[in-house]
Structure 1
Amino acid sequence: MARLPYAMSSLATLILVQTVTGSYAFAGLAAAAQGLAGAVGAPVVGSLADRYGHRRITVISTVANIVALLCLIAASRSSYRTEMLAAAALVGLSQPPIGALVRVYWSRLDQNHALPSHLPAAMAYEAAADETSFVVGPTLVGLLAPLATSLGPVAPIVASVALLLLTALPFTIRYTDRHPAARRSSQGDTTALLPRRALLAMFFAMAAMGAVFGAVQTGVTAYAHSIGRPGAAGLIYAVFGAGSALAGAACAWLPRGFAVRHRYLAFAATLLVGMLALFVGGRLHAVVPAVAVASITVAPYMITLYTLTERLAPPERTASAITILCAGGPLGTACGQALAGFLAQGGGSGDAFLLAPIAAAVALMLAVALTAVDRGRGRWLAPE
């Protein structure tokens, strides 16, 4: 439940700003500002957490995120576009990296031999949990946004504030490290170097996945408005999350002989196939079944990226590495939302969905290139 505010924020911002301004293009720009700020903020929060303790930094980040969401509500009431952009950026900059910190928690259990040989299954669970949050989150946005109350489209933002208070703060207190000095003495110095080139490659791979998310979010929002049911956007996007969650859970049963670097290439290829189905469905106005088909190709690709990154990072810098990877998602989503917003403004949902297979093709080309480098340098990308 602590992941829900992150899962809700992008679509909630998109719907709120579009409702207030009447512009898909500006709504996409506001969501892009939020995503870009999140891409900048996440690695900083991860690095500070490794240095000063996860608990202290995540509490500060969570409180700051609550304040930023309240500022976004105030800006939407004033209808000043500059203020809405600034508030949306503050929301992205201050988002607590709950998903990344949970993965660090699992990794440390594995390193301490409390979870022997079960890390792949744990990461598969994490992908399913992430995607479940992206089922429930957009569904809540879809149910809350059209409420016939004085709150109206602000209701999802209010719900996010409540969830941060009731779930993110308790999670932070219970499951994050309080004393970084003790961890440094047992695991090493937090100044250990990160494999920058490999992490940069993973960052751009996740950014391509984020662009797919941005295109799908904007496409389903435009489609829902075109059929006269704007509140259905969250429900349609929930189908995307549901299929991905099921596929993510199934990854726990992948055979051990299916090497991670081979999974990377294979799942990047299936991602492209899935996004082509989505584009065709958008053109044929069979959006819901196309979203369902495309969704099952998402989680396997993302799980592979997380697994590769976890293997690349020194144990004492796991939070930094995973938050760098996670930062690629908001960056890609921001670019995808901004570009898809302009496409939707002129050509509707079909043009917005076109961006999804383009981003997936970029992901596949990157996977092909990195797999070739990995083979040439002797498991540079995926050390065993």
Structure 2
Amino acid sequence: MAYRSLLRVPGAAFFPLGFLARLPYATSSLATLVLVQAASGSYAFAGLAAAAQGIANALGAPIAGTLADRHGHRLAGTVTALANAAALTGLVVASHTGRASMLTAAALSGLTQPPVGPLVRVHWSRLLHARARPDLIPTAFSYEATADEISFVAGPALVGLLTALGPTAPTVAAIALLVLATLPFALSLNQGSTEHRRSARAARTPLPRLPLAAMFVAMAAMGTIFGAVQTGVTAYSNESGHPGSAGLLYAVFGIGSALAGAACAWLPTRFSLRRRYVTFAATLLLGALTLVAGERGHVLPAAMAVAGVTVAPYLISLYALTERLAPADRATVALTVLCAGGPLGTATGQALAGFLVDRHGSAGAFLVAPVAAAAALLLAVAVVLAHSARTGDEPSARTRR
């Protein structure tokens, strides 16, 4: 019933367009890896280019968020979609030149990546408050988490299929999606009132730096788990003699997360957001420990399915908490700062797990996940205890707006 009510708010066409709009982000890292490796003949250099893209994305996302808060979502989404299409076109051209130009183009493609996730989440919040339906915001965030997870399953699969047509095909497809889906989706977003944009440009409300930093670190911990799992699964598949099975294991992980994200829409309202945050941080740790046990017991596919269920609920809690703690006129930049922790954490997880794989095999890579998850749980407990000591209750998004 909750999803049926949500469907009537923006119209049915909003959902498929929004899903297609996020596919360029879901395909970008792997597409860049495929293109640069084919052009340079080096996996090491291709990994460097993908890392440059991810780090540049982490740096560029808050800039795009600031642009959105100050000048409107429609303008920010349009500018970044066109700029990213141009940067990816430059990457295709650079693949016929030298390594320096490829590295530069990869970084530019990360810097200009449209922040579809933060833009659409703030759009939902504003739209549902305007329709006097703030009760549907958790449902909207659950849907968005589900769409994110499905895109991260579909994106790599799409790259794999298109690579058969040539190494440039996945990047060309991403360019086409930016123009045909991300750009129209950006144009459909609420630009925001003139008064709101004027006040945002004139005197911006300060961001709550310490709470936002905590959310950034929490997302980085999640990214570290992603990086460790990606590296561990790849190593496990190679060790087992079935390298092609890595994609299937990723899919199991993503599908489990997507189903759990969709189910979050039915959580009872008395289960408060901060309690959800601590609870889902604890289940994230249990999921990470399951991966370690599953690798050692040679039942990793089952462990991936169990661990995947713990991911989306934790991410939904982070998005919802960040949306609540941010001032109304700076919600987009707050969410983009949150999201910036993801690629930085993923790069960290991949580096640590790669180091351990060389020495201990896939088992070493999976050990990174529970360490990161334990840090996430400790941070969650600290955040909730600090908030309770400071206020004694939970802030209300309704009163804030």
TM-score normalised by length of structure 2: 0.85
Read off the aligned partner of 1:258 and give its amino acid letter. Answer: F
Give the conservation status (yes or no) of the 8 Å contact 1:24–1:342.
Answer: no
Distance 1:234 1:260, change over 3 A: same
- Which residue number in structure 2 is paired with residue 171 of structure 1? 185
Offset at residue 94 of structure 1 (A): 0.9
- Which residue number in structure 1 is paired with residue 275 of structure 2? 262
The equivalences for 1:193-232 within 5 A come to: 193-226=206-239, 232=245
- Which residue number in structure 2 is paired with residue 311 of structure 1? 324
Read off the aligned partner of 1:142 and give its amino acid letter. Answer: G
For 1:156 and 1:379, how far apart are their aligned partners in 2?
Answer: 51
Report which stretch shifted further, 276-285 or 228-237.
228-237
The equivalences for 1:100-249 within 5 A come to: 100-145=118-163, 147=164, 149=165, 151-152=166-167, 154-177=168-191, 181-184=194-197, 191-226=204-239, 232-249=245-262
For structure 1, list consecutive stretches of 5 or more residues without a partner in the other structure.
none
- Which residue number in structure 1 is paired with residue 395 of structure 2? 383
For 1:168 and 1:47, how far apart are their aligned partners in 2?
Answer: 19
Give the conservation status (yes or no) of the 8 Å contact 1:66–1:161.
Answer: yes
Offset at residue 115 of structure 1 (A): 2.3
Give the conservation status (yes or no) of the 8 Å contact 1:51–1:180.
Answer: no
Of residues 253, 270, 273, the one that matches 2:286 is: 273
Specify the SS of the correspondent of 1:118. helix
- Which residue number in structure 1 is paired with residue 399 of structure 2? none
Specify the SS of the correspondent of 1:383. coil
Give the conservation status (yes or no) of the 8 Å contact 1:31–1:337.
Answer: no
- Which residue number in structure 2 is paired with residue 48 of structure 1? 67
Q: Deviations over 1:14-41 (max 9, x none)?
A: 4555566676655444332222111111
For 1:340 and 1:55, how far apart are their aligned partners in 2?
Answer: 39
How many residues align? The count is 377
Give the conservation status (yes or no) of the 8 Å contact 1:190–1:316.
Answer: no
Give the conservation status (yes or no) of the 8 Å contact 1:214–1:335.
Answer: yes
Give the conservation status (yes or no) of the 8 Å contact 2:70–2:200.
Answer: no
- Which residue number in structure 1 is paired with residue 306 of structure 2? 293
Specify the SS of the correspondent of 1:167. helix
Read off the aligned partner of 1:249 and give its amino acid letter. Answer: A
Read off the aligned partner of 2:90 and give its amino acid letter. Answer: C
The equivalences for 1:29-40 within 5 A come to: 29-40=48-59
Give the conservation status (yes or no) of the 8 Å contact 1:275–1:357.
Answer: yes
Distance 1:359 1:136, change over 3 A: same
For 1:16 and 1:234, how far apart are their aligned partners in 2?
Answer: 19
Distance 1:167 1:233, change over 3 A: farther
Read off the aligned partner of 2:74 and give its amino acid letter. Answer: R
Offset at residue 50 of structure 1 (A): 1.1
Distance 1:350 1:255, change over 3 A: same
Specify the SS of the correspondent of 1:193. coil
Specify the SS of the correspondent of 1:96. coil
Read off the aligned partner of 2:180 and give its amino acid letter. Answer: L
Offset at residue 311 of structure 1 (A): 0.9
For 1:116 and 1:185, how far apart are their aligned partners in 2?
Answer: 25
Structure number with the bigger relative contact order (C-alpha 8 A, sep ≥ 6) is 1
Q: Deviations over 1:103-154 (max 9, x none)?
A: 0111102332442421111111111111111121122123333x1x4x14x3
Read off the aligned partner of 1:55 and give its amino acid letter. Answer: R
For 1:13 and 1:230, how far apart are their aligned partners in 2?
Answer: 20
Of residues 88, 92, 98, the one that matches 2:116 is: 98
Read off the aligned partner of 2:395 and give its amino acid letter. Answer: P
Q: Deviations over 1:192-233 (max 9, x none)?
A: 121111111111111111111122223333444455665554
Specify the SS of the correspondent of 1:117. helix
For 2:134 and 2:314, how far apart are their aligned partners in 1?
Answer: 24
For 1:342 and 1:27, how far apart are their aligned partners in 2?
Answer: 18
For 1:264 and 1:212, how far apart are their aligned partners in 2?
Answer: 17
Of residues 368, 381, 399, the one that matches 1:368 is: 381
Distance 1:17 1:328, change over 3 A: same
Specify the SS of the correspondent of 2:204. coil
TM-score normalised by length of structure 1: 0.89
Offset at residue 234 of structure 1 (A): 3.5
Offset at residue 182 of structure 1 (A): 3.9
CA RMSD of aligned residues (A): 2.6
Read off the aligned partner of 1:35 and give its amino acid letter. Answer: G
Give the conservation status (yes or no) of the 8 Å contact 1:214–1:334.
Answer: yes
For 2:150 and 2:129, how far apart are their aligned partners in 1?
Answer: 27
Give the conservation status (yes or no) of the 8 Å contact 1:29–1:338.
Answer: no
For structure 2, list consecutive stretches of 5 or more residues without a partner in the other structure.
1-19, 397-401
For 1:379 and 1:22, how far apart are their aligned partners in 2?
Answer: 58
